[in-house]
Amino acid sequence: MKKPGTFTLVRKFDFGTQTSVSVKTRTGTLQSADSRTKYKMAGASAPILNYAQAEQAVLTSVKALPGLAKAFVNLNPRFKKALVGSFVSVLAKAAKQRAVAKPSVSPDVISVTRELARQDKVRRVGVLDMGAWIGGMPALLERLNAAQPLFTIFEVQAPVPGGLLKTPVGMAEWASEHLRKPLSKRERDSLERHVIANDFFVAAEDIRRHLGLDLIVGMTPAMVAGIEANGTIFWNHFSAVLGKTILVSTADLRQFAETAGRSFEAGVGALLVAALMIAVNRKLEYHEDTGCVFDYNRNRVSLINTLKQMHIDARCLHQMTQEQRDVATNMLTVLKRMKRRAA
């Protein structure tokens, strides 16, 4: 069976209905993308109302495949529920007639289960597009999934609370409040739209737990701001990592990737790879700029050099396990091969 381009999980508030800590950061203006996030139902037009019936339908569809039935049964219960809810539906005709119908199981659920059965400790990663509009995301995630066995990466569709995005005026007020002094005119004039990482982390953790994911990544076209454990604040960042939650900004990334001779999707992938490795390895940190994917990029334009080189310093490799080194280098190799789209 041909592997689908991407796997998508849909958060449902109820089955069958649509509906101060240390922060590792990376510095990183705003794309003209619309910040509104769209959601859609996966599968057919009507939801399954009986979870037990839907789960049994999936089990029936995978039981003939060696090892997959056991892998499905042993999935994290929350993740299994999210998986069933995303890939099982009632046929629209039967639902309209309000008749008892046999659940329709998408063949993608078999591919997902096979992905998760690759090894015992596959980490389930959800990527939530918060208005970044990354058109090549399916192909990017397909390539990253195929390159390594440590992560299985899903696209996630879930409502995000309002108020996370701050306008330049709102950012100036937020920064002044936490700095306890007004910003200079130069500082105010330099501010763009931001997402406050600390607020995102709270919302993202709720989504992560609900879907049974190991890690969740939010992709925003705005820059990233936040508050460190010691009370200091930061802004104009490309990313922030806190525990099992990650926030990545695509602000200016199209321009930087173009200048570096990389595709926009490869640029997104480089930020994603670095953040994922930091999330699973506490020894790793963003550091002073050397062209490594773990560069802090205090001067945001320095990201161009990072994307050109797209490599990992020896000292960073030394902090990883052999498996992590193989995973990170294999994903970067895939990203280096991604070609830019013709204008």
Going from the N-terminus, what domains does the chain have, and what CATH number goes with each? 8-40+120-337 (3.40.390.10)
The pLDDT value given to residue 91? 53
pLDDT per residue as tens, the chain (343 positions): 334 446 788 886 555 444 344 456 565 432 223 333 332 333 334 444 578 888 888 888 888 777 788 888 888 899 998 988 888 876 544 445 555 567 888 888 888 888 887 766 889 999 999 998 898 999 999 999 999 999 999 999 998 888 889 999 999 999 999 888 888 888 888 899 999 999 999 999 999 999 999 999 999 999 999 998 888 999 999 999 999 999 999 999 999 999 999 999 999 999 999 999 999 999 999 999 999 999 999 999 999 999 999 999 999 999 999 999 999 999 999 999 998 765 5
pLDDT confidence of residue 190: 86
Q: Give the tokens for residue 104.
A: 């329709």
Q: What is the pLDDT of residue 9?
A: 86
> Residue 94: what pLDDT?
47
**pLDDT of 41:** 31
Q: Which residues pair with 223 in a beta bridge?
A: 194
pLDDT of res. 180: 87
Cα dist. 271→64, 135, 174, 265, 315 in Å?
Answer: 39, 16, 26, 10, 19
CA 271, CA 278: separation in Å to the nearest integer? Answer: 11
Burial zone of 6 (CB within 10 Å; 0-12 exposed, 13-18 middle, 19+ buried):
middle
The predicted pLDDT at position 252 comes to: 96
DSSP letter string, 84-126: HHHHEEE-HHHHHTT---PEEEPTHHHHHHHHHTSSTTPEEEE
**What pLDDT, on the 0 to 100 scale, is given for residue 240?**
96
Dist. CA 299–CA 289, nearest whole Å: 9
User: What is residue 322's predicted lDDT score, i.e. its pLDDT?
Assistant: 97
pLDDT at 64: 78
